[in-house]
Amino acid sequence: MKHDNEQIEHLLPLYYEGKLDEEKEERVKDWLALSDEHRAIGESIAEAYRAMDCLCVLQHIDTSKALARVNGRLRRQRFLLWLRRLERVAAILFMPLAVVAFLLFYRGSDHRHVTMLSYATKPGVTATLTLPDSTEVVLNSDSRISYPERFTGDERRVELEGEAYFAVAKDGEHPFVVGTSARADIKVYGTRFNVEADRTGHWVRATLEEGAIAMEYVDGDRQWTERHIVPGEEISYRAAQHEVSVRKVEVDVVTSWKDGRLLFRNTPVKEVLKTLAKRYNVEFEVVDERVYKNSFTGVLEKQRLENVLEILKISSDMNFKPATQGNGYCEKYIVY
């Protein structure tokens, strides 16, 4: 009987692997049917094989090894049970992790596909707009600002052509940057300032009313450099020379245009004519440069151009004569 049991235990693994011939398979079936103990041994081996999906077994096995094999299968079965529980926990955690991953991906994708907006004013017209971060911008005549429909990333960046006055919404974690075509950016550390950027990219200047700003520009060594200014100062950059200059200015004079009036305080006539050309969409051709020796002080608010020119004629010893159509878009005056 002992010898028969040893033969059966040797045949059991082969039986569950389907490697026995018909005669030996019948012998195993008869042995399993003899008692509940035999069936329990068989079921343990079968369950272990199913759980592990074994591909091979030892071809030679004795009684002690058979028992060790059964115990080993049972231990691995318990391991698989623990693994299945772990899988259920992972399945529970998968959804929130998947949601987080999706949000991170969506945020990154959203950043890549932000729509850029652009707003431009016609010559002789100013406009006020609010950016997505609640920054207030007053755009001067014949100027353009480009900005994203919503700010993403580490900074709030806009691009400016022409002139604009900014009252920047505070956000210490996302600095505000005004880019220009002159390879010079205005980095904002405060709130209120004026920027004028030449459309051709030759120069840019910024005037600080309140807070702190800096100009980041390419210097003579072709290195990016940063220069800070304080309220009441104006910083100018000339791209061709890679030069920066800082001077004290009267901020209310520089920014008066945003309130719909023009304030001049002993202002050189050359600057006066430039301001009037932008405000009234006209062109001035100076044929006698002696007029540049003059200056003008006064406040011009909602006057007709003809009245303004009459005031300048009387106060600054100069004359204006209407000319033919200038560049096709604006009126032209000869100054002498």
| pLDDT value of position 255 | 96
* Predicted confidence (pLDDT) at residue 49 exceeds the cutoff of 70: no
- CA neighbor of 197 nearest in space, from 167, 235, 229, 227: 235
Task: Give percent above pLDDT 70 in the chain.
Answer: 75
pLDDT per residue over 180-192, tens digit each?
Answer: 988 899 999 878 9
Q: How far apart are CA 105 and CA 130, in angstroms?
A: 29
pLDDT per residue over 261-281, tens digit each?
Answer: 899 999 999 999 999 998 898
CB 312 within 8 A of CB 318: yes
Q: How far apart are CA 246 and CA 190, in angstroms?
A: 18
Predicted TM-score of the model (pTM): 0.64
* Predicted confidence (pLDDT) at residue 106 exceeds the cutoff of 70: no
When the pLDDT of each residue in the chain is averaged and rounded to a whole number, the result is 80
DSSP H stretches of helix in 121-268: 251-255
What value does the mean pLDDT take over residues 48-64? 46
Higher pLDDT, 203 or 329: 203
The two tokens of residue 164 are 């604009």
At 20, the pLDDT band (50, 70, 90 cuts) reads confident
Strand partners, 264: 298
Strand partners, 121: none
At 113, the pLDDT band (50, 70, 90 cuts) reads confident
CA 305 vs. chain centroid, Å, equals 44
